[in-house]
Amino acid sequence: VRLYDTSSQRRPVLSIDFRETPIKSVAEDLDGHTIYVGNGSGDLSSFDIRTDK
């Protein structure tokens, strides 16, 4: 998962690795700081984009 800032250069400002299978879905939480990522194997994880964890 890569997060880009459109006002900066074309490089990602945040890059998160999540397993080896393709990512099938991404959703954001209502808090605006957490994203949920799901892949083809059925794995689900949440990441805080402020802390990269």
The H or E element spanning position 34 is strand 34-39
Predicted pLDDT of residue 36: 94
Predicted pLDDT of residue 27: 94
Could you tell me the residue range of the domain that residue 7 belongs to?
Answer: 2-48
User: Is residue 19 scored above 80 in pLDDT?
Assistant: no
d(CA 25, CA 39): 7
CA angle 3, 25, 20 (to 5 degrees): 80
Predicted pLDDT of residue 11: 80
What sign for the dihedral angle of Cα 30, 1, 18, 20? positive
53 within a domain of the structure (yes/no): no
- How far is CA 47 from each of CA 3, 7, 35, rounded to the nearest angstrom? 12, 23, 5
Looking at per-residue pLDDT, the higher value among 18 and 45 belongs to: 45
Number of domains in the chain: 1
